[in-house]
């Protein structure tokens, strides 16, 4: 009303914009024609996209029959546009005094709208808002707006009497409504079948639900394509029990005196089983420790199993083999920290170990002037089948495995890798036979003769020893 005339000469409207004239009950007093005051709200920021709006002298709001209540919610640019604006209305039925009262709410952006016509709509000309209502039969109403526009949102609450589709202004009934408004990152924290994640794209920061097990929707509540409980249980058991294929390689390694290799296979089997039990979508989940720890140990065990198997096939000196084992463990740990899901984390160490194997076998073949390993049975029944199985496993992991077929393709990967180890692990190294004590008495072996006189400097003029003691 105090606007300077220099800003414009257009006449001001005589009354605030509304959806239409209310249908008044007989004898009901007419409300005064003036602008309804906007009640402010207190903003309390808790975290990123987590803001609570508190009403002064709230959270309960008394709605007299003659006027509406208007509230303003201020959403800041950038900080509030990436979350979900939630509005909840709870009607106190004891305040109605057995009257048929319905409380309507109209939420609009930037421009407030008053409720009052018989049709009770929340739109006018080019402006449209969100309409919600509570009554004695439906006492709770909820509204969620993902990624709301920034600026001021106006909430208009109005109580009307009667039954739809026509309503009248109440006479003496004052409805009491509990209002709760807040901004959250995701809808209901994505529920049990989703995970709320904070994302950034082209400098835009927003939160969204990453749904699992076929669930969809803003809050992962759409079960149209969801996986059943039986399917979830089957996929979990298949991924976990397929790791039992490492038991035969562990037993074979212990019998062949490859104790260190058997320890690596046992480590891989244990952590792969519990990692996949913790990694499952849905509700069939069992975690014995933090997920990130289980994932790291599973990946490290898988790569170390390939590494120690190929190095063991090279049959290097014990000192060189132990150095390569330790060096491989440290380098693989570093590679997993850089990129845990990279394809070269598997192919790189495998190719490097195969290079060491080829070099060792070539040097041994040149020295012996014979192909190594020397027997054709070793090539036909062990090395060729093991190489084919390992190659098939790597091809499945690199080019066939997807998100949809993960549970059975990855189970096949477990079984193929464990099966290839059983074929490729070399047999026990042949040790030198000890000489029996009886053979030594018959003269088999060497003798070390010590001339005691020579040791004492008592040697004759001709250099002939006086006496000697021979020990084998």
Residue 108 contacts by C-beta under 8 Å, 6 or more apart in sequence?
Answer: 122, 127, 128, 129, 130, 153, 154, 156
Which stretch of 160-164, 420-424, 445-449 has the lowest confidence by average pLDDT? 445-449
Peptide bond into 373 cis (omega under 30): yes
pLDDT in tens, 228-281: 889 989 999 999 999 999 999 999 999 999 999 999 999 999 999 999 999 887
Q: Is the pLDDT of residue 191 over 60?
A: yes
What gap in Å lies between CA 161 and CA 257, rounded to an integer? Answer: 88
Higher pLDDT: 471 or 51? It is 51
The predicted structure's pLDDT at residue 35: 65
What is the average per-residue pLDDT within 373-377?
A: 88
What is the average per-residue pLDDT within 424-443?
A: 60
Average pLDDT of the chain is 81
* Most confident region among 6-10, 67-71, 330-334 by mean pLDDT: 330-334
Residues of the chain with pLDDT > 70, as a percent, come to 81
To which H or E segment does residue 313 belong?
helix 291-314
The predicted structure's pLDDT at residue 119: 55
Higher pLDDT: 108 or 28? It is 108
Residue 90 contacts by C-beta under 8 Å, 6 or more apart in sequence?
Answer: 134, 139, 140, 177, 178, 180
Which stretch of 49-53, 278-282, 383-387, 431-435 has the lowest confidence by average pLDDT? 431-435
Full-model pTM: 0.62
The predicted structure's pLDDT at residue 236: 92
What is the average per-residue pLDDT within 115-141?
A: 79
Q: By the 8 A CB rule, do 433 and 444 touch?
A: no
Q: Is the pLDDT of residue 13 over 50?
A: no
Residues of the chain with pLDDT > 90, as a percent, come to 40
Kindly report the number of other CB atoms within 10 A of residue 429's CB atom.
9
> By C-alpha distance, which of 265, 247, 250 is closest to 304?
265
State the DSSP string of 164-199.
TT--EE-SS--EEEEEEEEEESSGGGG-TTEEEEEE
| pLDDT band at residue 202 under the 50/70/90 scheme | confident
Q: Is the pLDDT of residue 89 over 60?
A: yes
To which H or E segment does residue 425 belong?
none
Q: Is the pLDDT of residue 60 over 60?
A: yes
DSSP secondary structure code for residue 227 in this structure: P
Q: Is the pLDDT of residue 22 over 90?
A: no
Which stretch of 112-116, 206-210, 362-366 has the lowest confidence by average pLDDT? 112-116
> By C-alpha distance, which of 73, 220, 252 is closest to 152?
73
User: What values do phi and psi take at 137, rounded to 5?
Assistant: -85, -30
């Amino acid at each position: 009303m105090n606007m300077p005339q220099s800003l414009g000469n257009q006449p001001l409207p005589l009354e605030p914009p509304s959806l239409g004239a209310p249908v008044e009950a007989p004898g009901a007093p007419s409300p005064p024609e003036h602008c309804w005051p906007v009640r402010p709200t207190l903003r309390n920021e808790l975290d990123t996209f987590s803001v609570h709006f508190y009403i002064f002298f709230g959270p309960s709001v008394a709605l007299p029959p003659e006027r509406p209540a208007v509230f303003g919610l201020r959403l800041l640019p950038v900080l509030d546009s990436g979350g979900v604006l939630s509005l909840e209305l709870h009607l106190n039925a004891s305040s109605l005094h057995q009257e048929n009262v319905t409380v309507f709410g109209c939420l609009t952006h930037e421009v407030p709208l008053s409720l009052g016509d018989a049709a009770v709509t929340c739109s006018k000309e080019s402006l449209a808002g969100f309409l919600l209502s509570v009554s004695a039969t439906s006492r709770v109403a909820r509204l969620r707006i993902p990624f709301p526009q920034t600026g001021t949102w106006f909430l208009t609450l109005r109580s009307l009497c009667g039954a739809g589709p026509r309503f009248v202004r109440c006479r003496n009934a004052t409805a009491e409504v509990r209002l709760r408004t807040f901004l959250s990152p995701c809808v209901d924290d994505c529920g049990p079948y989703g995970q709320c994640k904070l994302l950034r794209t082209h400098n835009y920061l927003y939160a969204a639900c990453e749904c699992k097990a076929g669930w969809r929707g803003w809050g992962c509540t759409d079960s149209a394509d969801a996986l059943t409980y039986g399917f979830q249980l089957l996929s979990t058991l298949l991924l976990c029990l397929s790791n039992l294929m490492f038991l035969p390689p562990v037993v074979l390694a212990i019998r062949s005196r490859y104790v260190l290799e058997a320890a690596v296979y046992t480590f891989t089997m244990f952590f792969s089983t519990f990692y996949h039990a913790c990694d499952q979508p849905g509700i069939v989940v069992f975690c014995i420790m933090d997920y990130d720890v289980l994932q790291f140990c599973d990946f490290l065990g898988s790569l170390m199993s390939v590494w120690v198997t190929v190095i063991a096939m090279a049959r290097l000196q014990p000192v060189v083999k132990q150095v390569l084992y330790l060096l491989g463990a440290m380098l693989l740990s570093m590679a997993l920290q850089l990129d845990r899901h990279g394809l070269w984390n598997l192919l790189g160490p495998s190719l490097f170990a195969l290079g060491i194997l080829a070099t060792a076998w070539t040097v041994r073949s040149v020295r012996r002037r014979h192909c190594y390993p020397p027997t054709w049975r070793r090539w036909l029944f062990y090395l060729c089948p093991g190489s084919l199985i390992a190659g098939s496993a790597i091809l499945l992991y690199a080019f066939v495995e997807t998100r949809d077929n993960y549970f059975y393709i990855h189970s096949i990967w477990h079984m193929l890798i464990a099966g290839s180890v059983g074929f490729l692990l070399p047999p026990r190294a042949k040790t030198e036979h000890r000489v029996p004590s009886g053979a030594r008495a018959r003269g088999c072996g060497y003798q070390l003769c010590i001339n005691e006189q020579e040791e004492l400097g008592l040697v004759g003029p001709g250099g002939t020893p006086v006496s000697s003691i021979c020990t084998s």
